[in-house]
Amino acid sequence: MASPGGRLEFRDVARGAALTEALAARVTSLGRAPVSVMHVCGSHEQAIAKFGLRAAFPPELRVIMGPGCPVCVTDVPEVDEAVALARQGVRVATYGDMLRVPGTAGSLADERGRGARIDVVYGAAQAVELARGGEPVVFFASGFETTAVATAAVLLADPPASFSVLSAHKYIPPVMEIVAEMPGSAIEGFLAAGHAATITGWGVFERFVERHRLPVVVAGFEPLDILAGLVRLVEVIASGEPRVDNAFPRCVTREGNPAAQAALWRVFELQGGRWRGIAHVPNGNLRLRDEFAAWDARRRYAIDVAALWDHAPAALVAQCQCGDIMAGIASPHDCALFGRDCTPDAPVGACMVSAEGTCKIWHQYGGHPDLREIRRRA
Ligand code: SF4
Residue 37: CB within 6 Å of ligand 1? no
Classify the phi-psi angles of 328: left when phi > 0, otherwise alpha if psi is within -120 to 50, otherwise beta. Answer: left
Task: Quote the ligand 1 centre to 132 CA distance (angstroms).
Answer: 39
Residue 362: CB within 6 Å of ligand 1? no
Residue 337: CB within 6 Å of ligand 1? yes
Residue 359: CB within 6 Å of ligand 1? yes
Task: Quote the ligand 1 centre to 182 CA distance (angstroms).
Answer: 21
Q: Which domains does the chain have, with CATH numbers?
A: 1-314 (3.40.50.11750), 315-377 (no CATH)
pTM above 0.85, yes or no: yes
Task: Quote the ligand 1 centre to 337 CA distance (angstroms).
Answer: 6
Packed helices 258-267 and 145-155: angle between N→C axes, nearest 10 degrees: 70
Buried b (16+ CB within 10 A) or exposed e, 252-280: beeebbeebbebbeebbebeebbbbbbbe
Query: What is the per-residue pLDDT for 293?
Result: 98
Q: Using CA positions, which residue lies closest to atom 3 of ligand 1?
A: 359
Query: What is the per-residue pLDDT for 121?
Result: 98
Q: Using CA positions, which residue lies closest to atom 5 of ligand 1?
A: 338
Query: What is the per-residue pLDDT for 152?
Result: 98
Task: Quote the ligand 1 centre to 201 CA distance (angstroms).
Answer: 33
Contacts of 236 (CB under 8 A, 6+ apart): 189, 215, 217, 242, 243, 245
pLDDT digits (tens, 9 = 90+) for 105-132: 889 999 999 999 999 999 999 999 999 9
Q: Using CA positions, which residue lies closest to atom 8 of ligand 1?
A: 349
- Name the stretches of the chain with pLDDT < 50: 2-6, 374-375, 377-378
Query: What is the per-residue pLDDT for 3?
Result: 47
- Closest atom of ligand 1 to 338 CA is 5
Query: What is the per-residue pLDDT for 106?
Result: 87
